[in-house]
A and B are shown apart, each in its own frame.
Chain A
Amino acid sequence: MVIERRWKRWVYFYIPLSIFVIGTLFPFYWMLITAIRPDAELYRSWRAVNNAPFWTLHPTLDHFQDLMAKTTFPRWLWNTFFIAVISTGISLFCGLLAGYALARLRFPMAGALGTSIFVTYLVPPTLLFIPLADIIRDFHLGNTPWALILTYPTFLIPFCTWLLMGYFKTIPKELEECARIDGATRFGAMIRIIFPIAVPGILSAGIFAFTLSWNEFIYALIFLSSPERKTVPVGVVSELIRGDIYFWGQLMAGALLGSVPVALVYSFFVEYYVTGLTGSVKG
């Protein structure tokens, strides 16, 4: 066994790791500290005698109260949640069936179809929003949650399909063949055998889809106009920056509350999520 020198562990492991952790977590800390800092401290000159940018001695919940009382933030939160859950549901449903079909069924052009589904995921929303806006208008869906619920799947379904297709491919096909001999139909084998085994994959696809739609900005900005219909990312930016005035405290409070659900979802399913991405074949 090679005994590593202590300084090597520090240089190659602890120090890079610390830099990475600080770099990742500092923005969140900054968000938190800004959200609970009173306005007097926030808008103080950087060179003021008692300036302490990295902490505060007078934490306050004023910004949160303002956010809740003076803006429609709770409404935004609900909108975002509603839209994210439904579009994730739709996308997962379609992704499961499409992913299974692409991974398992033999039909002409299966490979080409799989690739073309992936290619649609690569078309950037900045291009796609123009034709989509046209369609949304034609269907009179503008400024309703359905505008987003129906457009998010355009990038969520390809994403879910691909992630799940990869996962299904790691599950030995003998399992469902055996189930089909045991008395299940193909569909029954899929529901009873393959889906339960694919739970980690399904969860990670779901989490990803949920996060993507929760954080989505450009479609939400374009398709929703009235303040009470907005989602958190759009609402915070458009309603809390008035003209050239940034309401930093409320902005950060909103951002904090907006990221809490995502963080919660991740931390609950982190184990599933890792096996979902790395694939897992259990004997």
Chain B
Amino acid sequence: MAQVLLKELNKKYDEVHAVKDVNLHIRDKEFMVFVGPSGCGKTTTLRMVAGLEEITAGEITIGDRVVNDLPPKDRDIAMVFQNYALYPHMTVYDNMAFGLKMRKFPKAEIQKRVGDAAEILGIGELLKRKPRQLSGGQRQRVAVGRAIVRHPQVFLFDEPLSNLDAKLRVQMRAELKRLHDRLETTAIYVTHDQVEAMTLGDRVVVMKDGLVQQVGEPLDLYAKPINRFVASFIGSPSMNFADVVINEANGAVWAESSGLRIKVPPARVERLRAYKGQHVTLGIRPEDLRLAAGADGDYAFDTVVDVVEPLGSEILLDLKAGSMALVARVDPTVRVKTHDTLRLAMLPERLHFFDAGTEQAI
């Protein structure tokens, strides 16, 4: 059990600056998820915590020890790899026992720990098999088991679910969550899948181009993205964006573009007035659009249905409003066809505005 501190962490390869000035405090027992597109530096950061990559500059502390110069074996961590990295020439038992044997645990203790872990993960009957005789899901469990028998201070997960099929992935996701609640060990989890990040993380770190964009609890990230990148990366289907111009008329502030005229909610007027006459980016999530009713006048606009995607529990509508394309998530009871005209309204308290230049939230 330990906290992990990253201080001004940097990684440079010959040409590439892969991780830039990352500062992060991962609390004890926290499940921290790093998420971002490929090449954003999340895996490199994890590998630096593991000791598999040299640290160019900065400091990593695990517990109360600075680990910069410690080899991986002395950092008291366990890691689960994307391809599981099971030792093919050893049985499942030996795979799980390897770390304990290397640390010279007594045999009885090893047997007990491997037995316990196998029971937790439901792989008790596989202990005598070799990795190649296991299915993908079973290998995944063995890889997790190999990590938990050691009772390390920190678990590191490097996209552990991405080699599984969709159904198994959802199942293992829930299992990992349950496991973390049970073991109460600090965990750092790297993924490119924002759904995994949202569902697993106590907190989520969104990274892009080696920079931390935002750190926060999943729902905070979702509700209050700090910039346009986080807004578009978190959530599926992703947020709709429209290029609008801010105007003032009739004692109110308006965001306008062709086919769209939205009143800026009173709470936001203060800050947006400064952008009068300028372009800003308006963002609205698909589920924050609803069929317009009489009272929605200031937030309503007309759209033409382009594609209807019924998913059963909901319907996704690809729509056109003027030159803008957007997606709306509506109830499955809504009956619409392609080319229908539909009047939609935005939920005023869920509007997002981003600076067109810096892309920061306004």
A131 within 8 Å of B by Cβ? Answer: no
A196 CA to B78 CA in the complex, in Å?
A: 23
A53 within 8 Å of B by Cβ? Answer: no
Contact A283 B86 (CB under 8 A): yes
Given the interface contacts A174-B81, A282-B132, does A197 sit within 8 Å of B88 by beta carbon?
yes
A105 within 8 Å of B by Cβ? Answer: no
- Taking CB atoms, residues of chain B closer than 8 Å to A180 are 51-52, 71-73
Contact A193 B87 (CB under 8 A): yes
A283 CA to B72 CA in the complex, in Å?
A: 23
Contact A282 B88 (CB under 8 A): yes
Contact B73 A184 (CB under 8 A): yes
Tier of interface size on chain A? 10 to 19
- Taking CB atoms, residues of chain B closer than 8 Å to A174 are 81-83, 85
B99 within 8 Å of A by Cβ? Answer: yes
A240 CA to B143 CA in the complex, in Å?
A: 63
- Taking CB atoms, residues of chain B closer than 8 Å to A188 are 102
Tier of interface size on chain B? 20 to 34
Query: Which residues from 166 to 191 on chain B have a C-beta closer than 8 Å to any C-beta of chain A?
Result: none
The distance from the CB of A262 to the nearest CB of chain B, in whole angstroms, is: 28
A172 CA to B103 CA in the complex, in Å?
A: 24
B88's nearest neighbour on chain A, judged by CB, is A282
Query: Which residues from 59 to 105 on chain B have a C-beta closer than 8 Å to any C-beta of chain A?
Result: 71-73, 75, 77-79, 81-89, 98-99, 102-103
A172 CA to B158 CA in the complex, in Å?
A: 15
Given the interface contacts A177-B81, A283-B84, does A182 sit within 8 Å of B132 by beta carbon?
no
B98's nearest neighbour on chain A, judged by CB, is A182
Given the interface contacts A172-B83, A181-B50, A183-B103, does A283 sit within 8 Å of B146 by beta carbon?
no
Interface residues in chain B, defined as those with a beta carbon under 8 Å from any beta carbon in chain A: 50-52, 71-73, 75, 77-79, 81-89, 98-99, 102-103, 131-132, 139, 146, 150
In addition to A177-B52, A283-B132, 19 A-B residue pairs with Cβ atoms within 8 Å of each other are A174-B81, A177-B79, A177-B81, A177-B85, A178-B79, A178-B81, A178-B85, A180-B72, A181-B99, A182-B73, A182-B78, A182-B150, A183-B98, A188-B102, A196-B89, A282-B88, A282-B131, A283-B84, A283-B139
Give 20 A-B contacts (CB < 8 Å), ordered by A residue: A174-B82, A175-B85, A177-B79, A177-B85, A178-B87, A180-B51, A180-B52, A180-B72, A181-B75, A181-B99, A182-B78, A182-B99, A182-B102, A182-B146, A183-B73, A183-B102, A185-B71, A188-B102, A193-B87, A282-B88
